[in-house]
Amino acid sequence: MSQKPVKVRHVTVDERGDGQRIDNFLLRELKGVPRTLIYRLLRKGEVRVNKGRVKAGRRLVAGDVVRIPPVRLPEASEVGKPPQWQIDKIEKSIIYEDNLLLIINKEPGLAVHGGSGISFGVIELLRASRPQEKALELAHRLDRDTSGCLMLAKKRSALRTLQQLQREGRVRKRYLALLAGRWNKDRQQVKVPLKKNNLKSGERVVRVDAAGKHAHTEFRVVQRFSRATLVEAELKTGRTHQIRVHAQYLGTPILGDEKYGDEQANREFRHLGLKRLFLHAASLRFPWPEREQGYAFEAPLPPELQELLDK
């Protein structure tokens, strides 16, 4: 198969890229290229903005000139198109949609971003379903194994508003989690810093670390069981794996968590039918300019988790 010649490109950021993170901008410009390669190019300084090196979190401004190094893009046949049944399934998961926002009830096991030509995540499936939505972007992320409310923006202006609201802590994100063990307290505030670590295998693990970033989770007991506690967790900050690591820090990890959990407790609850992480993004609530009542969304607990509680 002949490969198209590749060379350095200089792309001027337009309104569509205004306010977007450089890593997300590159994912769009280099469709089908693995995320790991994008981060490697940024680390090596091969991507430049206005001739200067940048980090993955750098937000672009309209008029910025981005140097994109030579990268061979996969042919369309390599990237592939999502199967229709997957597209139909993601469409059925939509809770709400208007001209600015799209909210889905994400199923567990579905990544928000897919890998190169192997699997398709939420964003690839929705873009394949509605190719006319040129500016469709994720407004935040959920772990692959977490189910529930996920926000997407359909316009750059809506994405900027959602990002600003999240930075200001004005988006209320409420999760339901089943923890191993019983709590005596009704509420717990956890304020311990978290730091990302990459293992030699390439796996990402988050640890409590004084050198990490500030992280704050508020836990409230919903129901006590003999060997477990159902809690509501509200994120005050949005760090990677935050609820999972804070629950582990308290000595009561989330059941079904293979990375931060308790192996023995997971085994016991597997016999009761728990085959996944018991973490569900139950609701989202946030104000909106020129919309007096703001927005509020809820995603019911998936049947398999409700059945476990009933048992």
In angstroms, what CA-CA distances link 50 with 55, 104, 160, 251, 290? 13, 37, 22, 48, 36
Count CB neighbours of 239 within 10 A.
20
In eight-state DSSP terms, residue 45 is T
Active site residues: 143
The DSSP-derived string for 232-265 is EEEESS--TTHHHHHHHHTT-PBTT-TTTS-HHH
Task: Give the residues across from 177 on adjacent strands.
Answer: 231, 279
H or E stretch at 223? strand 216-224
Q: In angstroms, what is the C-alpha Rg of the chain?
A: 21
